[in-house]
A and B are shown apart, each in its own frame.
Chain A
Amino acid sequence: MSKRIDLVDLDIFYGDFLAVEQVTLTVNPRSVTAFIGPSGCGKSSVLRSINRMHELVPGAYVTGEVLLDNEDVYGVDVDPVLVRRTIGMVFQRPNPFPTMSIYDNVVAGLRLSKRRRRSKDLDDVVERSLRSANLWAEVKDRVDRPGAGLSGGQQQRLCIARAIAIEPEVLLMDEPCSALDPISTLAIEDLIHELKDTYTIVIVTHNMQQAARVSSTTAFFNVNAVGEPGRLIEIGETSQIFSNPRVKQTEDYVSGRFG
């Protein structure tokens, strides 16, 4: 489990609008890579193009390559549904299925991919996934209750459990803590630390301290002006990006001079 991602000359379009231009970068397996940058720089678009969620917006498409262990995610005979089963995603706002119990939320993806599992197996998956998401202790007595009854932070961990229940190779996180309070944020960050031993993780964050805390590699994106495409400015080890950036823009951003 866990694969490497290479973006090669990636251009991202919304209709005629070029939103992100010429991104080339590598995400190493079993590590956490953070995408940082000001609003509108295209970091979320890049993230969503990795598991082909981007193309769900009408008129949206990409050119260039997204390679998952050298296999192009946008290849002609690639099924986007399988791409999304392999590359899991956690969203900005916790979005458990409101009509489903905690249990059913966790196994929702499994019920899609492989029908007719024995319920004993499912029970194991639920416990393992909830344990991995550091949620088991809090919900083990009420897994049959609606997932929507949990707190925001618990809901987000439930969404992480749901994403890892189908054992993806990669986990994409789109500002997973921006709707959470500091305590819940800390819980998620601890979780990311544990998950990186198993998964390739890419996290988009507005919070530079968070990037510094959780990631080993940081990519800084920027945009010159509204209406121009976003660009990858610099990527490197997180400690280097924050202490000794090579590019002036990065230094201005991480030192809080703009953004």
Chain B
Amino acid sequence: MTAVLSGQAVRPGDRVFSGLSLAAGVLVLVVMAAIAVFLVWKAIPSLTTDSANFFTEQQWLPDRDPPVFGIAVLAFGTVLTSLIAMGIAVPIGFGVALFIAFYGNRRVSTALGFTVDLLAAVPSIIFGLWGLYYFMPRIVPFAEWLSTYLGWIPLFRNDLEIYTKSILMAGVVLAIMILPTVSAISREVFLQVPRAQTEAALALGATRWEMIRMSVFPFSRPGMVSAAMLGLGRALGETIAVALLLSAIFEINWAITEPGGNTFAANIALKWGEAADNGRSALIAAGLVLFLITLAVNMIARWIIARHEEYT
């Protein structure tokens, strides 16, 4: 009797494939590690020369002797513009996605979804130019209105009576930039909600909004967090549009309708060309901080998603 089952215990194809996928996975980690090592390595020289506190200093003069520079203004500007962008883009983005997924008729939804996807693909330099030359002059009355009627809130006070190139402007344009990202991803998430779930709510006599709260939001929460975080990631790292829209003033100014503010990415782009050795090293140190912030944002997002995982 011959053994009919004997042969190769592991097929070569399986082995090749598992090797390839392992290599791909390792490659991602290697690239991550290489970036981190590069940033730290290049940042150290300037950090050791910095005569000011890197985290609290507002000026950025790394090529002076002795060098004085810090990320306070950059962190402030980056976080504030991104928060403004999130505050505007996340609710509107979810709203657009809900409309596409549950309210619009098929033709309108398809057209709108297509437009949103196109908007997501527009390069940020286009947004920057459009924001600078078209949008900014038209939003000035809004900023004026804010400072006139809500000026008693320090955030909206404007003593300069100049309303352009402000953190608010940059935040609003960033909001428009990340809106399609938030909307496109959350739409995909909403469309994944099983019909059985939406029908269960509707059959109980839920209105459409009640159905969305009852079966769509609980099911989509992790995806909605991802959508918001990807939008935030784009806002944090956005360079060109912000570089065009902010007038780089190295001072923390809570009055968000006044000109001023700066961000990590914009500062790197604007200063790189003119910077000497220590200046470049300092900019890389700023880049390292941005890298760590985005890493932290993503980890927090993962953590939020994982907390809800038991239900999905």
Interaction A to B: yes
In the assembled complex, the CB of A58 is this many whole angstroms from the nearest CB of chain B, namely 5
A99→B218 contact, CB < 8 A: yes
Given the complex, which residues of A lie within 8 Å of B5, measured CB to CB? none
Given A98-B218, A99-B218; A51-B203 close (CB under 8 Å): yes
Listed in ascending order, the chain A residues whose CB lies under 8 Å from chain B are: 51, 53, 56, 58-59, 81-82, 84-85, 88-89, 91, 93, 95-100, 108-109, 112-113, 146, 148, 159, 162-163, 166
Other-chain contact of B203, A82, A89, A93, A100 (Cβ < 8 Å): A89
The verdict on B277 contacting chain A, using a C-beta distance below 8 Å, is no
The verdict on B200 contacting chain A, using a C-beta distance below 8 Å, is yes
A84→B199 contact, CB < 8 A: no
Interface of B is mostly: helix
Given A97-B215, A99-B311; A85-B200 close (CB under 8 Å): no
B214→A56 contact, CB < 8 A: no
**Which residue of the partner chain A has the closest CB to B107?**
A58
B105→A98 contact, CB < 8 A: no
Question: In the bound complex, how far is the Cα of B201 from the Cα of A109, in angstroms?
Answer: 8
A97→B200 contact, CB < 8 A: yes
Other-chain contact of A166, B204, B210, B219, B311 (Cβ < 8 Å): B204
The size bracket of the interface on B is 20 to 34
Listed in ascending order, the chain B residues whose CB lies under 8 Å from chain A are: 105-106, 194, 196-197, 199-207, 210, 214-215, 218-219, 311-312
Question: In the bound complex, how far is the Cα of B106 from the Cα of A58, in angstroms?
Answer: 7
B205→A97 contact, CB < 8 A: no
Given the complex, which residues of B lie within 8 Å of A166, measured CB to CB? 204-205
Given the complex, which residues of B lie within 8 Å of A82, measured CB to CB? 205
A85→B218 contact, CB < 8 A: no
Question: In the bound complex, how far is the Cα of B44 from the Cα of A241, in angstroms?
Answer: 88
B200→A95 contact, CB < 8 A: yes
In the assembled complex, the CB of A97 is this many whole angstroms from the nearest CB of chain B, namely 6
Given A91-B199, A112-B205, 9 extra CB contacts under 8 A: A53-B203, A81-B206, A84-B203, A95-B194, A95-B200, A97-B201, A148-B311, A159-B200, A163-B203
